[in-house]
Structure 1
Amino acid sequence: MALLKAREAVMSRFRPTLHAHDLTEQQWRVLRALTTAEEFRAGELARVSSISMPSLSRILRALEKRALIQRGVEDKDLRAAQISITASGRELIALIAPHSERRYAEITTAFGEDRLATLYGLLDELAACLNDGAEAPPEDEE
């Protein structure tokens, strides 16, 4: 319950901006993940964004409908889609990012930079311990 309360307290700072741009938290995670590489296969995108494949499929359809992402075909496997962010998706990220950065700065100021760094480290250790070094299966969130 303590982890959920903390997550809710943090996310309550970000939701208004996401909702103002008609994005869910999960859609935002997917878009942000897509900025870290040129493209992803769906399974890898699900892993890095901690979203289950069924939820990711719904999210991708919604983002594709808004032209924020695109799906391409992998040369070696015609069944495997390569997912990438579009120019419109990057523009949306650029529009929201300053708001997001301000929220992170507020959280850092309120909690303390050293304490936040310690918390991140402890959370990474907890995840590694519980996953025995493996990634946990993503949760269904939508």
Structure 2
Amino acid sequence: MTKPLPSTSRSLPIALIRAREGVMAPIREMLSETGITEQQWRVLRVLAEYGAMDAKTLADRASLLFPSLTRIAATLRDKGLVTQTRDDKDRRRQFVEITAAGQKIIDDRAGRAAQIVAGFKDTLGAQDYETLLDLLARLDPGAQG
């Protein structure tokens, strides 16, 4: 006889999905007037933090599949929020860089994004917030450590 599954109230995958929705709701609200998606925001955030990078690295850091990044980067380029250039040595390799307009979207929402994070820290407590990030990193197969 197989062991019964845990209650859905104690299921890690379901709990993570529910928590993701709770975390993303205020972020979606913040982005609602920008005309950019959550995934586009992640791409801009990564570029704002790390600077120009090749598309493969950007996809990894933004937690996107490479084909999705290709589409998202093209959309952001068409909106004037990023530039894309080909590597001189390897024409298959593409670099993506945030533009001033893309950086302005990040800068204009930095305060609100910080308030959202502060709200999560208030809810969890600063120590539990950091512990949660550490625990989630342990479940990330791409995390280094």
Normalised-by-shorter TM-score class: 0.7 to 0.9
Partner of 2:17: 4
CA separation in 2, counterparts of 1:38 and 1:115? Answer: 30
Counting only pairs closer than 5 Å after superposition, residues 1-80 of structure 1 correspond to structure 2 as 1-80=14-93
Contiguous gaps of at least 5 residues in structure 2: 1-13
Structure 1 SS opposite 2:58: helix
The correspondence for 2:96, drawn from 59, 66, 83, is 83
Higher RCO (C-alpha under 8 Å, 6+ residues apart): 1
The correspondence for 2:134, drawn from 121, 129, 140, is 121
> C-alpha offsets along residues 13-68 of structure 1, whole Å, 9 cap, x if unaligned?
11111111111110000000111223111111111111011111111111011100
Measure how far apart 1:7 and its partner are. Answer: 0.7
Alignment of 1:109 with 2:114, yes or no, is no
Number of residue pairs matched by the alignment: 130
CA separation in 1, counterparts of 2:25 and 2:50? Answer: 28
Contiguous gaps of at least 5 residues in structure 1: 137-142
CA separation in 2, counterparts of 1:37 and 1:122? Answer: 24
Q: Given the two structures, how large is their TM-score scaled by the length of structure 1?
A: 0.86
Q: Percent identical across equivalent pairs?
A: 37
CA separation in 2, counterparts of 1:11 and 1:23? Answer: 14
CA separation in 2, counterparts of 1:102 and 1:72? Answer: 35
Structure 1 SS opposite 2:64: coil
Let me know the Cα RMSD of the aligned residues.
1.3
Structure 1 SS opposite 2:16: helix
Task: State the one-letter code of the partner of 1:47.
Answer: D
Structure ID, larger Rg: 2
Question: 4+ residue runs of structure 1 moved beyond 6 angstroms?
Answer: none
CA separation in 1, counterparts of 2:50 and 2:124? Answer: 31
> C-alpha offsets along residues 73-108 of structure 1, whole Å, 9 cap, x if unaligned?
222212321110001111111011111111101111
Structure 2 SS opposite 1:71: strand
